[in-house]
Amino acid sequence: PSDPSSAAFPAVAATIVPGSKVRLKGISINPARVGIFESLRDMGARIEQTNQREEGGEPVADLTIHGTALTSTYIPASRAASMIDEYPVLAMAAACATGTTRFDGVGELRVKESDRLATVEAGLRACGVTVETDADSMTIEGCGGPPRGGATIATSLDHRIAMSFLVLGMATEAPVEIDDIRPSETSFPGFAESMRKLGADIIDTS
């Protein structure tokens, strides 16, 4: 089964770039792994699930995601176990949504490859988004459309931070730069090239 954590990046990109339509094939829809897609649907994302089947003993399906206007939502702590690694990229969707989105029960993000709450907060603020965090939660005031962007993001060598802010840069008014894309190879080899094939303009300036 294809990994929902990796699928989250093109999925979020599709929701925040107007006119997008992306099909992701053979994605695991194990109930313990689909928090990111449930959360995007809660925000109004149009996600179609077809060709449900079993592969390797796991339920999978093809997902088609369309660009759409997103609205804020509340993500309870009970959902964290099913999407703990996907909160950084979901925060990019929340930054583009209308209204205030809150994530609770996300304190574990403070002890990942970086303090992901702190790095997401700093990066979004640099892109013109209002964000507040505490020990176990994050609140994002959505821009109701494209955030300003125009920032260089310190990724702290964290692969999910690097990929998340490149996704955000696909929708911002001004380009978003990250300090190092190499960590993305940790979990999504060929990330930049895969996104370029979908139309993303990712330029290596190193």
For residue 89 the two structure tokens come to 């990229």
- Token readout for 44 is 């109004």
Give per-residue pLDDT as tens, 134-171.
999 999 999 999 999 999 999 999 999 999 999 999 99
pTM tops 0.75: yes
Q: What is the rounded distance in angstroms from the CA atom of residue 95 to the CA atom of residue 93? A: 5
End-to-end CA distance of the chain: 34
Locus of tokens 């125009």? 150
Active site residues: 85
Q: What is the pLDDT of residues 44-87, one digit of tens each?
A: 999 999 999 999 999 999 999 999 999 999 999 999 999 999 99
In single-letter form, the type of residue at position 180 comes to D
Q: What is the pLDDT of residue 205?
A: 83
